[in-house]
A = this chain, B = another copy of it.
Protein backbone atom coordinates (compact mmCIF):
# COMPACT_ATOMS: atom_id res chain seq x y z
CA UNK A 1 0.00 0.00 0.00
CA UNK A 2 1.06 3.49 -0.64
CA UNK A 3 -1.76 5.69 0.42
CA UNK A 4 0.08 8.97 0.83
CA UNK A 5 0.40 11.53 -1.96
CA UNK A 6 2.37 14.75 -2.01
CA UNK A 7 5.55 16.05 -0.44
CA UNK A 8 4.42 19.09 1.51
CA UNK A 9 0.67 19.04 1.01
CA UNK A 10 0.40 15.38 1.93
CA UNK A 11 -2.79 13.42 1.66
CA UNK A 12 -3.24 9.97 3.17
CA UNK A 13 -6.42 8.10 2.36
CA UNK A 14 -8.03 5.07 3.98
CA UNK A 15 -11.05 2.90 3.54
CA UNK A 16 -12.47 0.05 1.51
CA UNK A 17 -15.80 -0.45 -0.16
CA UNK A 18 -17.54 -2.08 2.78
CA UNK A 19 -15.67 -1.12 5.98
CA UNK A 20 -16.97 1.34 8.56
CA UNK A 21 -15.71 4.53 6.98
CA UNK A 22 -13.54 6.01 4.28
CA UNK A 23 -11.59 9.21 4.61
CA UNK A 24 -8.30 11.01 4.55
CA UNK A 25 -5.78 12.92 6.59
CA UNK A 26 -4.62 16.11 4.91
CA UNK A 27 -1.29 17.18 6.38
CA UNK A 28 0.38 20.43 5.48
CA UNK A 29 -2.63 22.58 4.66
CA UNK A 30 -1.64 26.16 5.45
CA UNK A 31 -3.31 27.71 8.51
CA UNK A 32 -5.80 30.56 8.68
CA UNK A 33 -7.97 29.45 5.76
CA UNK A 34 -11.73 29.37 6.32
CA UNK A 35 -12.85 25.76 5.97
CA UNK A 36 -16.00 23.85 6.83
CA UNK A 37 -17.69 20.74 5.53
CA UNK A 38 -19.62 22.96 3.12
CA UNK A 39 -16.41 23.53 1.18
CA UNK A 40 -15.95 19.82 0.65
CA UNK A 41 -19.45 18.43 0.25
CA UNK A 42 -20.23 19.75 -3.25
CA UNK A 43 -17.42 17.82 -4.94
CA UNK A 44 -18.35 14.70 -2.94
CA UNK A 45 -21.91 15.11 -4.19
CA UNK A 46 -20.65 15.24 -7.76
CA UNK A 47 -18.73 12.01 -7.13
CA UNK A 48 -21.25 10.02 -5.14
CA UNK A 49 -23.12 7.05 -6.54
CA UNK A 50 -26.83 7.26 -7.12
CA UNK A 51 -26.71 10.92 -8.15
CA UNK A 52 -28.54 10.27 -11.40
CA UNK A 53 -30.12 7.51 -13.44
CA UNK A 54 -26.95 7.21 -15.51
CA UNK A 55 -24.92 5.45 -12.85
CA UNK A 56 -25.07 2.81 -10.15
CA UNK A 57 -28.16 2.91 -7.95
CA UNK A 58 -26.02 2.29 -4.83
CA UNK A 59 -27.23 4.99 -2.46
CA UNK A 60 -24.69 6.75 -0.31
CA UNK A 61 -25.21 10.27 0.96
CA UNK A 62 -21.45 10.52 1.49
CA UNK A 63 -21.73 13.18 4.14
CA UNK A 64 -18.32 14.37 5.24
CA UNK A 65 -17.25 15.23 8.78
CA UNK A 66 -14.11 17.19 9.60
CA UNK A 67 -12.59 15.42 12.60
CA UNK A 68 -9.62 17.67 13.29
CA UNK A 69 -7.45 20.48 12.01
CA UNK A 70 -9.96 23.33 12.16
CA UNK A 71 -11.40 25.44 14.93
CA UNK A 72 -14.20 27.94 14.54
CA UNK A 73 -14.18 27.23 10.81
CA UNK A 74 -10.52 28.14 10.34
CA UNK A 75 -7.65 25.79 9.50
CA UNK A 76 -5.07 25.48 12.27
CA UNK A 77 -2.20 24.25 10.12
CA UNK A 78 -2.53 20.85 11.78
CA UNK A 79 -3.62 17.66 10.00
CA UNK A 80 -7.20 17.75 8.81
CA UNK A 81 -8.96 14.45 9.37
CA UNK A 82 -12.04 13.88 7.21
CA UNK A 83 -14.39 10.92 7.34
CA UNK A 84 -17.36 9.61 5.41
CA UNK A 85 -19.19 6.60 6.85
CA UNK A 86 -20.06 3.68 4.60
CA UNK A 87 -23.78 3.16 4.96
CA UNK A 88 -25.28 1.11 2.15
CA UNK A 89 -23.34 -2.12 2.57
CA UNK A 90 -24.59 -5.27 0.89
CA UNK A 91 -21.68 -7.69 1.03
CA UNK A 92 -24.12 -10.52 0.31
CA UNK A 93 -24.23 -9.43 -3.31
CA UNK A 94 -20.66 -10.43 -3.77
CA UNK A 95 -20.63 -13.93 -2.34
CA UNK A 96 -21.25 -15.62 -5.67
CA UNK A 97 -18.07 -14.10 -7.02
CA UNK A 98 -15.74 -15.20 -4.28
CA UNK A 99 -14.35 -18.16 -6.20
CA UNK A 100 -14.25 -16.48 -9.56
CA UNK A 101 -12.03 -13.46 -10.02
CA UNK A 102 -13.85 -10.90 -12.15
CA UNK A 103 -12.08 -10.46 -15.49
CA UNK A 104 -10.09 -7.20 -15.63
CA UNK A 105 -10.97 -6.45 -12.03
CA UNK A 106 -8.57 -6.34 -9.08
CA UNK A 107 -9.93 -9.50 -7.42
CA UNK A 108 -7.12 -11.67 -8.76
CA UNK A 109 -4.23 -9.28 -8.23
CA UNK A 110 -5.29 -8.31 -4.69
CA UNK A 111 -5.56 -11.99 -3.80
CA UNK A 112 -2.12 -12.68 -5.26
CA UNK A 113 -0.47 -9.64 -3.72
CA UNK A 114 -1.92 -9.83 -0.24
CA UNK A 115 -3.01 -13.46 0.06
CA UNK A 116 -6.35 -12.12 1.27
CA UNK A 117 -8.90 -9.65 -0.03
CA UNK A 118 -12.03 -7.89 1.07
CA UNK A 119 -14.79 -10.40 0.44
CA UNK A 120 -16.94 -7.78 -1.12
CA UNK A 121 -17.05 -5.07 -3.64
CA UNK A 122 -13.48 -4.58 -4.61
CA UNK A 123 -12.16 -3.48 -1.26
CA UNK A 124 -9.51 -0.85 -1.74
CA UNK A 125 -9.83 -1.00 -5.53
CA UNK A 126 -13.37 0.26 -5.19
CA UNK A 127 -14.27 3.73 -6.35
CA UNK A 128 -15.17 4.50 -2.75
CA UNK A 129 -11.46 4.84 -2.10
CA UNK A 130 -11.54 8.07 -4.06
CA UNK A 131 -13.71 9.85 -1.50
CA UNK A 132 -10.67 10.84 0.55
CA UNK A 133 -8.96 12.20 -2.56
CA UNK A 134 -11.95 14.31 -3.48
CA UNK A 135 -12.20 15.76 0.01
CA UNK A 136 -8.51 16.57 0.03
CA UNK A 137 -8.72 17.99 -3.44
CA UNK A 138 -11.61 20.27 -2.53
CA UNK A 139 -9.50 21.79 0.23
CA UNK A 140 -6.53 22.24 -2.09
CA UNK A 141 -8.76 23.77 -4.71
CA UNK A 142 -10.12 26.31 -2.29
CA UNK A 143 -6.65 27.36 -1.24
CA UNK A 144 -5.45 27.60 -4.84
CA UNK A 145 -8.49 29.65 -5.79
CA UNK A 146 -8.21 32.02 -2.85
CA UNK A 147 -4.47 32.55 -3.22
CA UNK A 148 -3.84 32.32 -6.95
CA UNK A 149 -7.23 32.34 -8.65
CA UNK A 150 -6.64 28.86 -10.08
CA UNK A 151 -9.61 27.34 -11.91
CA UNK A 152 -9.85 23.62 -12.56
CA UNK A 153 -12.60 22.22 -14.78
CA UNK A 154 -12.90 18.70 -16.16
CA UNK A 155 -15.53 17.18 -18.43
CA UNK A 156 -16.37 14.04 -20.35
CA UNK A 157 -15.16 14.35 -23.92
CA UNK A 158 -15.66 10.76 -25.08
CA UNK A 159 -17.98 7.91 -24.11
CA UNK A 160 -17.50 4.68 -26.03
CA UNK A 161 -17.24 5.69 -29.67
CA UNK A 162 -18.92 9.05 -29.18
CA UNK A 163 -16.54 12.01 -29.20
CA UNK A 164 -17.66 15.49 -28.29
CA UNK A 165 -16.48 18.27 -30.59
CA UNK A 166 -13.82 20.60 -29.21
CA UNK A 167 -14.86 22.45 -26.10
CA UNK A 168 -13.59 25.99 -25.43
CA UNK A 169 -11.22 25.16 -22.62
CA UNK A 170 -10.60 28.84 -21.89
CA UNK A 171 -14.23 29.41 -20.96
CA UNK A 172 -15.78 26.14 -19.86
CA UNK A 173 -17.31 26.16 -16.36
CA UNK A 174 -18.45 23.44 -13.98
CA UNK A 175 -21.98 24.69 -14.31
CA UNK A 176 -21.83 24.05 -18.04
CA UNK A 177 -20.34 20.63 -17.43
CA UNK A 178 -23.10 19.71 -15.01
CA UNK A 179 -25.96 20.59 -17.34
CA UNK A 180 -26.34 16.89 -18.07
CA UNK A 181 -25.54 14.01 -15.70
CA UNK A 182 -23.06 12.56 -18.20
CA UNK A 183 -20.99 15.76 -17.81
CA UNK A 184 -20.27 16.27 -21.48
CA UNK A 185 -20.84 20.00 -22.05
CA UNK A 186 -21.80 19.50 -25.69
CA UNK A 187 -25.44 18.69 -25.07
CA UNK A 188 -26.31 16.93 -28.33
CA UNK A 189 -23.41 14.55 -27.80
CA UNK A 190 -24.31 14.26 -24.13
CA UNK A 191 -27.75 13.07 -25.04
CA UNK A 192 -26.36 10.32 -27.23
CA UNK A 193 -23.98 9.31 -24.47
CA UNK A 194 -26.81 9.14 -21.95
CA UNK A 195 -28.78 6.94 -24.29
CA UNK A 196 -25.77 4.69 -24.78
CA UNK A 197 -25.24 4.47 -21.04
CA UNK A 198 -28.88 3.57 -20.50
CA UNK A 199 -28.59 0.83 -23.08
CA UNK A 200 -25.39 -0.51 -21.53
CA UNK A 201 -27.07 -0.53 -18.15
CA UNK A 202 -30.01 -2.41 -19.58
CA UNK A 203 -27.92 -5.01 -21.32
CA UNK A 204 -25.52 -5.39 -18.40
CA UNK A 205 -22.54 -4.07 -20.33
CA UNK A 206 -20.26 -1.08 -19.68
CA UNK A 207 -18.67 1.82 -21.51
CA UNK A 208 -15.31 3.54 -21.45
CA UNK A 209 -14.72 7.23 -21.64
CA UNK A 210 -12.23 10.07 -21.73
CA UNK A 211 -12.12 12.96 -19.30
CA UNK A 212 -10.47 16.20 -20.42
CA UNK A 213 -9.29 18.69 -17.81
CA UNK A 214 -8.11 22.27 -17.93
CA UNK A 215 -6.32 24.16 -15.14
CA UNK A 216 -6.39 27.91 -15.73
CA UNK A 217 -4.49 30.76 -14.07
CA UNK A 218 -1.82 28.39 -12.86
CA UNK A 219 1.26 30.34 -11.76
CA UNK A 220 4.33 30.11 -13.98
CA UNK A 221 7.11 28.00 -12.50
CA UNK A 222 5.36 24.96 -11.01
CA UNK A 223 6.84 21.48 -11.25
CA UNK A 224 10.00 19.97 -9.88
CA UNK A 225 12.33 18.53 -12.51
CA UNK A 226 13.34 15.94 -13.09
CA UNK A 227 11.27 13.22 -11.43
CA UNK A 228 8.46 15.45 -10.28
CA UNK A 229 7.98 17.45 -13.42
CA UNK A 230 4.46 18.81 -13.41
CA UNK A 231 3.27 16.46 -16.14
CA UNK A 232 4.95 13.50 -14.40
CA UNK A 233 3.05 14.19 -11.19
CA UNK A 234 -0.16 14.73 -13.09
CA UNK A 235 0.38 11.45 -14.92
CA UNK A 236 0.99 9.60 -11.67
CA UNK A 237 -2.01 11.27 -10.07
CA UNK A 238 -4.34 10.40 -12.93
CA UNK A 239 -3.10 6.83 -13.44
CA UNK A 240 -3.69 6.23 -9.73
CA UNK A 241 -7.43 6.73 -10.27
CA UNK A 242 -9.28 3.43 -10.66
CA UNK A 243 -9.93 2.28 -14.25
CA UNK A 244 -7.53 4.68 -15.96
CA UNK A 245 -5.38 3.47 -18.84
CA UNK A 246 -3.88 6.59 -20.36
CA UNK A 247 -2.75 10.16 -19.83
CA UNK A 248 -1.72 12.77 -22.36
CA UNK A 249 -0.94 16.44 -22.03
CA UNK A 250 -1.14 19.08 -24.72
CA UNK A 251 -0.69 17.51 -28.12
CA UNK A 252 -0.22 14.11 -26.47
CA UNK A 253 -0.08 11.14 -28.80
CA UNK A 254 -1.31 13.01 -31.86
CA UNK A 255 1.44 15.58 -31.53
CA UNK A 256 4.06 13.10 -32.70
CA UNK A 257 2.58 13.37 -36.19
CA UNK A 258 3.56 17.02 -36.52
CA UNK A 259 7.07 18.23 -37.37
CA UNK A 260 8.73 20.45 -34.81
CA UNK A 261 8.26 23.50 -37.00
CA UNK A 262 4.49 23.10 -36.70
CA UNK A 263 4.39 21.68 -33.21
CA UNK A 264 6.44 24.35 -31.46
CA UNK A 265 4.48 27.03 -29.61
CA UNK A 266 5.90 30.43 -30.57
CA UNK A 267 6.14 33.01 -27.83
CA UNK A 268 4.08 36.14 -27.93
CA UNK A 269 3.53 38.97 -25.47
CA UNK A 270 0.18 38.61 -23.67
CA UNK A 271 -0.56 41.64 -21.54
CA UNK A 272 2.25 41.83 -19.01
CA UNK A 273 3.53 38.35 -19.52
CA UNK A 274 5.12 36.21 -22.19
CA UNK A 275 2.69 33.60 -23.47
CA UNK A 276 2.49 31.24 -26.40
CA UNK A 277 0.48 31.56 -29.57
CA UNK A 278 -0.53 27.90 -29.61
CA UNK A 279 -0.63 25.45 -26.72
CA UNK A 280 0.61 22.12 -28.01
CA UNK A 281 2.72 22.05 -24.87
CA UNK A 282 -0.44 21.86 -22.76
CA UNK A 283 0.86 24.48 -20.36
CA UNK A 284 4.15 22.82 -19.44
CA UNK A 285 7.63 23.08 -20.89
CA UNK A 286 10.56 21.17 -19.46
CA UNK A 287 8.27 19.91 -16.71
CA UNK A 288 7.37 23.41 -15.50
CA UNK A 289 4.15 25.37 -15.95
CA UNK A 290 4.49 28.22 -18.44
CA UNK A 291 1.40 30.23 -17.56
CA UNK A 292 -0.78 28.86 -20.34
CA UNK A 293 -3.74 26.64 -19.45
CA UNK A 294 -2.73 23.14 -18.43
CA UNK A 295 -4.69 20.82 -20.61
CA UNK A 296 -4.70 17.05 -20.36
CA UNK A 297 -6.81 13.97 -21.06
CA UNK A 298 -7.34 10.78 -19.10
CA UNK A 299 -8.80 7.58 -20.49
CA UNK A 300 -11.11 5.35 -18.44
CA UNK A 301 -11.68 1.80 -19.55
CA UNK A 302 -15.17 0.33 -19.48
CA UNK A 303 -15.88 -0.86 -15.90
CA UNK A 304 -14.83 -4.46 -15.43
CA UNK A 305 -17.89 -5.52 -13.49
CA UNK A 306 -20.68 -6.31 -15.94
CA UNK A 307 -23.78 -8.44 -15.63
CA UNK A 308 -23.41 -10.19 -18.96
CA UNK A 309 -22.19 -13.76 -18.56
CA UNK A 310 -18.45 -14.09 -19.08
CA UNK A 311 -16.54 -17.25 -19.97
CA UNK A 312 -13.53 -17.22 -17.68
CA UNK A 313 -11.70 -19.36 -15.14
CA UNK A 314 -12.05 -19.57 -11.37
CA UNK A 315 -9.16 -19.28 -8.89
CA UNK A 316 -8.59 -23.02 -9.24
CA UNK A 317 -8.04 -22.56 -12.96
CA UNK A 318 -11.25 -24.33 -14.02
CA UNK A 319 -13.29 -22.95 -16.87
CA UNK A 320 -16.52 -21.40 -15.70
CA UNK A 321 -19.02 -18.69 -16.47
CA UNK A 322 -19.31 -15.61 -14.29
CA UNK A 323 -22.62 -13.84 -13.94
CA UNK A 324 -21.97 -10.94 -11.63
CA UNK A 325 -24.67 -9.63 -9.35
CA UNK A 326 -24.55 -6.37 -7.46
CA UNK A 327 -25.19 -2.78 -8.43
CA UNK A 328 -22.71 -1.83 -11.08
CA UNK A 329 -21.92 1.29 -12.97
CA UNK A 330 -22.27 1.21 -16.75
CA UNK A 331 -19.61 3.92 -16.90
CA UNK A 332 -17.38 5.83 -14.51
CA UNK A 333 -16.09 8.72 -16.62
CA UNK A 334 -18.83 11.16 -15.55
CA UNK A 335 -18.38 10.40 -11.86
CA UNK A 336 -14.62 10.63 -12.39
CA UNK A 337 -14.85 14.29 -13.34
CA UNK A 338 -14.52 15.61 -9.76
CA UNK A 339 -11.87 12.97 -9.04
CA UNK A 340 -9.73 14.18 -11.94
CA UNK A 341 -10.20 17.76 -10.80
CA UNK A 342 -9.26 16.81 -7.25
CA UNK A 343 -6.13 14.97 -8.21
CA UNK A 344 -5.09 17.91 -10.36
CA UNK A 345 -5.63 20.19 -7.38
CA UNK A 346 -3.45 17.96 -5.19
CA UNK A 347 -0.64 18.10 -7.73
CA UNK A 348 -0.85 21.86 -8.18
CA UNK A 349 -1.11 22.56 -4.46
CA UNK A 350 1.99 20.56 -3.69
CA UNK A 351 3.84 22.17 -6.58
CA UNK A 352 2.93 25.68 -5.45
CA UNK A 353 4.10 24.97 -1.92
CA UNK A 354 7.37 23.48 -3.15
CA UNK A 355 7.97 26.54 -5.29
CA UNK A 356 7.27 28.75 -2.27
CA UNK A 357 9.81 26.75 -0.30
CA UNK A 358 12.43 27.66 -2.91
CA UNK A 359 11.16 31.18 -3.35
CA UNK A 360 9.54 32.58 -6.46
CA UNK A 361 12.14 33.77 -8.93
CA UNK A 362 10.58 37.20 -8.81
CA UNK A 363 11.46 37.38 -5.16
CA UNK A 364 7.84 37.45 -3.99
Contact = CB atoms under 8 A, between A and B. Distances in A.
A338 interface: no
Contacts of A12: 4, 10, 12, 25, 27, 79
Given A12-B27, A67-B21, A264-B310, A205 B77 contact: no
A304 B81 contact: no
Interface size class, chain A: 35 or more
A255 B353 contact: no
A286 B109 contact: yes
Contact of A264 (B19, B114, B299, B306): B306
8 contacts: A2-B7, A2-B224, A31-B114, A207-B260, A234-B239, A246-B247, A261-B310, A266-B312
Contact of A79 (B1, B207, B209, B312): B1
A7 B7 contact: yes
Contact of A232 (B122, B239, B246, B260): B239
Contacts of A297: 253
Given A23-B81, A116-B76, A304 B256 contact: no
Contacts of A222: 113
A225 B2 contact: yes
A360 to B, nearest CB: 8
A146 to B, nearest CB: 12
Contacts of A269: 313, 317-318
A108 B290 contact: yes
B8 A124 contact: no
Contacts of A224: 1-2
